Structure 1
Amino acid sequence: MFERFTRQARATVVGAQEEARALGHGWIGTEHLLIAVLRRPDEPGAATLVRLGADAESARAAVERAAGRGGDGVGEEDAEALRALGIDLEEVRRRAEDAFGPGALDRAPRPPDERRGTWAVLPFRRRGADRGRRDRGHIPFTPRARKALELSLRESLALKDRHIGCEHLVLGLLRSDDRLTGDLFARLGLEPETVRARVVADLRGAA
């Protein structure tokens, strides 16, 4: 399948790996693919998303809120729920670092739980050592990311294109039906079916 990818689409997949590493994640998910697509705002498909108000920075921020950035791994909504119970995460972190030194609670998040549709984290570990191992090794694609790539091939075939470009990656991501990808689009204020129709219309207009 990858031999059909355009140079831009291949660069997007590489960019997804870069985003995963930069966020301290040990997996490549649809969230990283989406950020990487948005890093190429002039490409077909990505340009439509940008025109609808999405960009790489906002997508990256949404992913950080949902999955964390190699830190405490607790999203904004979870933090608010804990505050309602009288638990102040910043105070917990301050006390831990006072007692055990800076970065005492740093840890690397694991991939979102595919079965439960939640963002989960591994037990505490040293961030630097763990990230070093990931930098030297292979970062796997999550099942939902692999499915999005397969869907991009189907989109290319449906459009009778001989290649898989960024536009097909976008359409494949928009067809993802898992809760995690849907949650990310919702955080960005994008409704997949509506956005998909706009992308297809833009592609037809440019043909």
Structure 2
Amino acid sequence: MFERFTRSARAVVTGAGEHAERAGADTVDAGHLLLALLDLQGSRGSFALAALGADRRREEIAEALADARRRGGLTQADTEALAGLGVDVDEIVARVEETHGAGVLAGAGTGRGRKGIGSWFGHRPFGREAKDTLVRALRIATERRQRTIGDEHILLALTTRPGIVAEVLGDRGVTREALDRVLT
């Protein structure tokens, strides 16, 4: 599949690995893919993000992703649902961090990464959500009868997979529908 990636899509994959490495994450996740997309310039995906104003909100997006990681991957909707049941997620996170250290729920491990499927010489392997995103990008390109997978397909895939990244993007007006309008 990787041979079908455009130069910009390959840059996203490489950049996501670099973001995971800098963060000390054991695996690359969908949030790392989004951060790498926000780093790009001059591509279809970067054009779409700029058209929807997300490029100007990069720090805000990075902070929202970091907050979700700190909550152990719970979306804001999950946190609100638990609050409705009387569960204070922030209090639980604070207690866990008090006992085990700051950021313990963020999933950062040794920073060395495991070898195995999805890893290559010294790089972080891709986690399930990142792999699923890339498979979705392939499906989107195929549905559009396009031979290559571009960074715009990765961006579209990030908006269709329920979870933190889609929520963070959606809260900032970057939805599948908005991207379809901008990219067509």
Give TM-score, length-normalised by structure 2: 0.70
Distance 1:108 1:21 in 2: 17
Question: 1:157 Cα shift?
Answer: 1.9
Is the 2:51–2:182 contact (alpha carbons within 8 Å) kept by the matching residues of 1? no
Deviations 1:21-71 (A, max 9, x none): 222222211111111111113210221112212134332222111113xxx
Structure 2: gaps of 5 or more residues: 80-87, 115-120
Share of identical aligned residues, percent? 31
**Greater fraction helix:** 2
Structure 1 residue ranges, 4+ long, deviating more than 3 angstroms after superposition: 72-75, 106-110, 134-138
| Map 1:43-54 → 2, pairs under 5 A | 43-54=43-54
Is the 2:16–2:35 contact (alpha carbons within 8 Å) kept by the matching residues of 1? yes
Distance 1:7 1:179 in 2: 27
Q: Which residue identity does 2:64 align to in structure 1?
A: A
Query: How many residues matched?
Result: 166
Structure 1: gaps of 5 or more residues: 97-103, 111-120, 202-207
Residues 88 and 157 of structure 1, relative CA distance in 2, 3 Å threshold: closer
Task: Provide the residue aligned with 1:141 in structure 2.
Answer: 126
Q: How large is the Cα RMSD of the aligned pairs?
A: 3.5
Q: Which residue identity does 2:40 align to in structure 1?
A: R
**Bigger RCO of structures 1 and 2 (CA < 8 A, at least 6 apart):** 2
Is the 2:54–2:174 contact (alpha carbons within 8 Å) kept by the matching residues of 1? no
Is the 2:160–2:166 contact (alpha carbons within 8 Å) kept by the matching residues of 1? no
